[in-house]
Structure 1
Amino acid sequence: MTAPPTFASSSLLVALGGGLGAWLRYITSRAWLSAIGPVAATAFPWATLTANVLGSLAMGLLVGWLARHGTPGGILGGEAWRLLLGVGVLGGYTTFSSFALEFALFIERGALGAAALYVGTSLVAGFLALFAGLALMRSLA
């Protein structure tokens, strides 16, 4: 059995993947802008919706593949692929894929109350935090 990736190699994998994921998010936005024009692209968040759905699909495929084929440890092991693709690429592309995976894990464990609490708290707290940040910055302007 090989050792798990070190902090340095793990950080590098996440950083490289995150850069690729952020670039893919940019490409998704540019593709929608090119396909439907700036007015339609800003009237509804098609790029964000696309990233959330595609990222969630990719997360499901990745987790399913790693569960079946992943190997522990090492630079080419399952943990390295999880860091590069799951945390890095998909984290840079959309964090919604992680949110969807965590929700699914609650459901699969039969923890329906925890799943509802997680979704509700994430949405309400996220929206409240965004509005608090907006209000704070507006008060400083």
Structure 2
Amino acid sequence: MTRTPHQETTLLRDIWISYRSQPLWVQFWVALILVPVNMASLLFLTEPMGLWIAILANIAMLSNLPIMLYERGFTNFMALPHILPWTILVCLILFARPPATGLYDVYLWVLVAVDLVSLVFDYQESLAWLKDRQRKAPPSA
């Protein structure tokens, strides 16, 4: 099925309205901290483990795009794709820390802090989504 320009505009508007309906602190967190800090990993691709860090940092966010399109906005389900890559990312940086100095070293600490904060919320939202889904599931025979 081909979308008309009106349908695409409506989809983007629905996603924007959903984003703007989030608490103000969430909007700031996502737009000014979470997305920019994870995307900044692309600036360090040539650093030790830089490619892996960029993949793990960004794959979690990119996997939210199909969810946003399907759900026509923000939902708790968007937390689920963050769990595995960002948990691996945080563990990689904390326990197999790549050699880093200067700006890269500072960046890794900021990335860990931001993604750890996000994961606290992501684990809670994922559990809420799974419980809600379980509650809505038809009883088994």
* TM-score band, normalised by shorter chain: 0.3 to 0.5
Higher relative contact order (CA 8 A, sep 6+): 1
| Larger helix share, 1 or 2 | 1
TM-score normalised by structure 2 residue count = 0.32
